Amino acid sequence: MTQTATIGQVKDDFDTILGWIANGDEVTVLRNETAVAKITPAKPKLPPLPDYMARMRRLGGNPVTAAGDCERARAYNAGEITEEELFEKSKPMPDYVARRKQLGGNDVTAEDWAKMRDYFAGAISEEELLGVAKP
């Protein structure tokens, strides 16, 4: 809600004006019936975000987050799951390097890391990631 006050009212009864502002009202200050200033409530200071990664490590979770971890964080922030569910131990990511060697591939190169990034982004298939033809 918007309140109006003259310069004289602000000078003579500032406590009342501050009460309006504390209740969330916006005050327009008038001089000769012309608005010259607007006083608005200060935005509340938000508390700092918790260090989710430190908590996850402390509780034995995998510090490397996978898509499921991000989804759990979103669900926690939306109030859909509890903190215990948020910090349940993460499932380890599949060992694609070992799988590639098992299928006859070579050691991991910078190009392989780029392929892994593309795979997790959904841009390439698992076969393209591993560099093998589908059986």
70 closest CA partner among 95, 94, 93: 93
> Is residue 45 assigned to a domain?
no
Region 88-114: mean pLDDT is 62
Region 71-80: mean pLDDT is 80
Containing structural domain, residue 76 = 52-86
Q: Do 106 and 129 touch, CB atoms closer than 8 A? A: no
pLDDT value at position 84?
A: 75
Q: In angstroms, what CA-CA distances link 19 with 10, 12, 130? A: 12, 14, 67
Element (H, E) at 6: strand 2-6
Distance CA 128, CA 120 (A): 12
Helix/strand/coil for 65: coil
pLDDT value at position 24?
A: 82
- The tally of domains found in the chain comes to 3
> Is residue 47 assigned to a domain?
no
Q: Do 90 and 66 touch, CB atoms closer than 8 A? A: yes
Using 50, 70 and 90 to split pLDDT, how confident is the model at 12? very high
pLDDT value at position 100?
A: 62
Q: Do 61 and 87 touch, CB atoms closer than 8 A? A: yes
- CATH code where residue 23 lies: 3.40.1620
Using 50, 70 and 90 to split pLDDT, how confident is the model at 80? confident
pLDDT digits (tens, 9 = 90+) for 104-132: 666 656 676 777 777 777 788 877 777 65
> Tokens for 36?
């010259």
pLDDT digits (tens, 9 = 90+) for 26-63: 899 999 999 999 998 887 666 677 776 677 667 665 55
Q: Kindly state whether residues 105 and 77 are assigned to the same domain.
A: no
- Comparing 81 with 108, the larger pLDDT belongs to 81
> Is residue 44 assigned to a domain?
no
> Is residue 61 assigned to a domain?
yes
Q: Do 131 and 111 touch, CB atoms closer than 8 A? A: no
- Comparing 11 with 128, the larger pLDDT belongs to 11
DSSP 91: P
The total number of residues shown for the chain amounts to 135
> Is residue 62 assigned to a domain?
yes
